[in-house]
């Protein structure tokens, strides 16, 4: 390993290869509950350096795990067996901003919110807005096809990425996609977005910039039951209104956020609904009135329209601080990111509370109600014997309930390691085999982020071995 260390330092310099015990400890985990181990961390600043790192990894037979800001919650950027972490944090340039074509080429280390801050003065922003957008990187968003509160109407990251530059196995550099509205050939961009760093390392991203809306209206409604809040969501979508955002928090989550921020949230409500509409002033005023009417018709105990931008900012700061606020309840938390049809919200939430009670776990809930993307957060203390195992058992039960109700394993956080072994809940052996074949095509030596997304044994047959009918795989 000392030879690899020397070779990496020859490529990027001594100061950009970290192998101290503290560095290895910090880079061995992400924002979730799992921990791994790494032999060293390398911090490239260019595509050429990344390509050289990939070639060295192949030469030395070591695995690479690309990492953004480490805000992931599914163990997607956790290294194992001494894999080298490739931190993309220094590749943070915002270049070639083309306002006429509404695009920009950015580095994977660009902070999500910094991209919008850079383009907002010109009348544009980057639409995907994860709650961690003050820290998470665009490269990480690409890896997980991240969403956020405002992706209900605009779509997730894949809808805002037009092209990618990626370093493949062997150090080859490939550019896929582009500014053409109808690119020819296979959609390799679509395969790479959401692949969680298992197919290559993204070094540049061509993003689509979205015009800032001329008018915004934000509504906060409080309800005595989660059922009434969910019924309001169904009424809004059923009426043909697709808000920019439609978010829900239950009582425990609201209390935690309010205790931390003092944003004036109604802590006596069983659930609160935060809705936002954007567009032309006349249209948003009409839609805001309709949403308020639907809330009233579904027994809202209070409905509040943000008076100005300052009040709107406070409400959104409260919503996007939810994960941080959980720290008041316990030193650790475990979060699952699952999806159910909107029509199944009520019965799924009933199951969520049943599971929490069954396992004796404090469960706080915040979710993108408009598209049924749930975020049950289990607050716990891992120092308590057996508690982590209890939480993991409850989490698996939660996922099984959501899939049984017609949902999906993940809406925006990815599969990573935490949900890897749950993939058979949704995919057949043939499905997993097809996905593993794609992995083999891009990464035949298994260099990139091994042990993530696909469970062990996903290939129905070992590569190069005959199958029963005598043909070859």
The pLDDT tens digits of the residues spanning 267-292 come to 999 999 999 999 999 999 999 999 99
- Mean per-residue pLDDT of the chain: 93
Q: What pLDDT shows up at residue 327?
A: 86
Is 197 within a domain? yes
Whether 22 and 131 map to the same domain: the answer is no
Residue 115 CA to residue 104 CA, distance in Å, equals 10
Whether 378 and 316 map to the same domain: the answer is no
Is 136 within a domain? yes
pLDDT per residue as tens digits for the range 345-363: 989 999 999 999 999 999 9
Q: What is the CATH number of the domain that holds 11?
A: 3.30.43.10
Q: What is the DSSP string of 290-327?
A: HHHHHHHHTT-SEEEE--SHHHHHHHHHHHHTHHHHGG
Q: What is the mean pLDDT of residues 39-45?
A: 98
CB 438 within 8 A of CB 191: yes
* Partner residues linked to 104 by β-bridges: 207
Q: Residues of the chain with pLDDT > 90: what percent?
A: 88
H helices of 219-308, where? 226-238, 251-261, 281-297
Q: What pLDDT shows up at residue 329?
A: 86
Would you state the structure tokens that stand for residue 127, as one six-digit string?
A: 């639409």
Q: What is the mean pLDDT of residues 148-152?
A: 92
Whether 267 and 302 map to the same domain: the answer is yes
Our count of domains for the chain comes to 5
Is 451 within a domain? no
Q: Per-residue pLDDT for 336 more than 90?
A: no
Rounded to the nearest 5°, which phi and psi values hold at 218? Answer: -125, 130
Is 447 within a domain? no
pLDDT per residue as tens digits for the range 359-398: 999 999 999 999 999 999 999 999 999 999 999 999 999 9
Q: Per-residue pLDDT for 470 more than 90?
A: no
Cα-based distances in Å from 21 to 17, 37, 215, 398: 13, 11, 51, 36
Q: Per-residue pLDDT for 468 more than 80?
A: no
Q: What is the CATH number of the domain that holds 397?
A: 3.30.70.2740
| pTM, to two decimals | 0.93
Q: What is the mean pLDDT of residues 73-96?
A: 96
Whether 192 and 236 map to the same domain: the answer is no
Name the pLDDT band for 1 (thresholds 50, 70, 90).
Answer: low
Residue 255 CA to residue 284 CA, distance in Å, equals 30
Cα angle vertex 199, ends 433, 421, to 5°? 45
Interhelix angle 281-297/226-238, rounded to 10 degrees, is: 140
Q: Per-residue pLDDT for 469 more than 70?
A: no
Residue 462 CA to residue 473 CA, distance in Å, equals 8
Name the pLDDT band for 471 (thresholds 50, 70, 90).
Answer: very low
Q: What is the CATH number of the domain that holds 173?
A: 3.30.465.10
Residue of higher predicted confidence among 462 and 368: 368
Q: What is the mean pLDDT of residues 189-208?
A: 98
Q: Tokens 């027994």 — which residue?
A: 299
Contacts of residue 407, defined as CB under 8 A and 6 or more positions apart, other chains included, come to 338, 339, 340, 341, 344, 348, 372
Cα atoms in the 13 Å half-sphere on the side-chain side of 216: 18
Interhelix angle 309-320/251-261, rounded to 10 degrees, is: 120
Q: What pLDDT shows up at residue 342?
A: 87
Q: Which domain holds residue 433?
A: 428-442+460-473
Would you state the structure tokens that stand for residue 3, as one six-digit string?
A: 């030879």
Name the pLDDT band for 434 (thresholds 50, 70, 90).
Answer: very high
Q: Per-residue pLDDT for 464 more than 70?
A: no
């Amino acid at each position: 390993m000392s030879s690899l260390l020397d070779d990496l330092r020859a490529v990027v310099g001594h100061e950009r290869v970290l192998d101290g015990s503290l560095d290895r400890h910090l880079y061995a985990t992400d924002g979730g509950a799992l921990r791994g181990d790494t032999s060293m961390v390398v911090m490239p600043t260019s595509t050429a350096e990344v390509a050289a790192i990939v070639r060295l990894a192949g030469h030395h037979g070591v695995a690479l795990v690309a990492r953004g800001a480490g805000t992931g919650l599914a163990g997607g950027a956790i290294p194992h067996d001494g894999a080298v972490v490739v931190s993309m944090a220094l590749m943070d340039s915002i270049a070639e901003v083309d306002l006429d074509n509404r695009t920009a080429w950015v580095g994977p280390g660009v902070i999500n919110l910094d991209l919008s801050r850079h383009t907002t003065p010109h009348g544009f922003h980057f639409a995907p807005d994860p709650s961690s957008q003050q820290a998470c990187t665009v490269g990480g968003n690409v890896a997980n096809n991240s969403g956020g509160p405002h992706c209900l109407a605009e779509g997730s990251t894949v809808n805002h990425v037009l092209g990618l530059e990626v370093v493949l196995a062997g150090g080859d550099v490939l550019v896929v996609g582009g500014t053409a509205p109808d690119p020819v050939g296979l959609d390799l961009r679509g395969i790479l977005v959401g692949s969680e760093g298992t197919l290559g390392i993204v070094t540049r991203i061509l993003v689509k910039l979205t015009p800032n809306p001329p008018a915004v209206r934000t509504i906060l409604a409080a309800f005595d039951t989660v059922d009434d809040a969910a019924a309001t969501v169904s009424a809004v979508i059923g009426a043909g209104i697709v808000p920019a955002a439609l978010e829900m928090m239950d009582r425990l989550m609201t209390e935690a956020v309010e205790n931390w921020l003092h944003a004036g949230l109604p802590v006596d409500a069983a659930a609160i609904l935060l809705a936002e509409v954007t567009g032309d002033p006349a249209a948003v005023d009409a839609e805001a009135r309709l949403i308020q009417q639907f809330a009233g018709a579904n027994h809202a105990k209070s409905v509040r329209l943000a008076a100005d931008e300052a009040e709107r900012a406070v409400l959104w700061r409260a919503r996007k601080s939810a994960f941080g606020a959980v720290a008041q309840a316990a030193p650790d938390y475990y979060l699952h990111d699952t999806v159910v049809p909107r029509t199944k919200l009520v019965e799924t939430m009933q199951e969520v509370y049943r599971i929490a009670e069954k396992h004796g776990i404090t469960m706080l809930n915040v979710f993108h109600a408009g598209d049924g993307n749930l975020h049950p957060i289990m607050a716990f203390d891992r120092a308590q014997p057996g508690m982590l195992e209890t939480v993991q058992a409850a989490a698996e039960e939660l996922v099984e309930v959501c899939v049984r109700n017609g949902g999906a394993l993940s809406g925006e956080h990815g599969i990573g390691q935490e949900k890897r072994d749950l993939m058979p809940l949704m995919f057949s052996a043939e499905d997993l085999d097809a996905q593993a074949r794609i992995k083999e095509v891009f990464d035949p030596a298994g260099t990139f982020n091994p042990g993530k997304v696909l469970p062990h044994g996903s290939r129905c047959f070992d590569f190069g071995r005959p199958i029963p009918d005598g043909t070859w795989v």
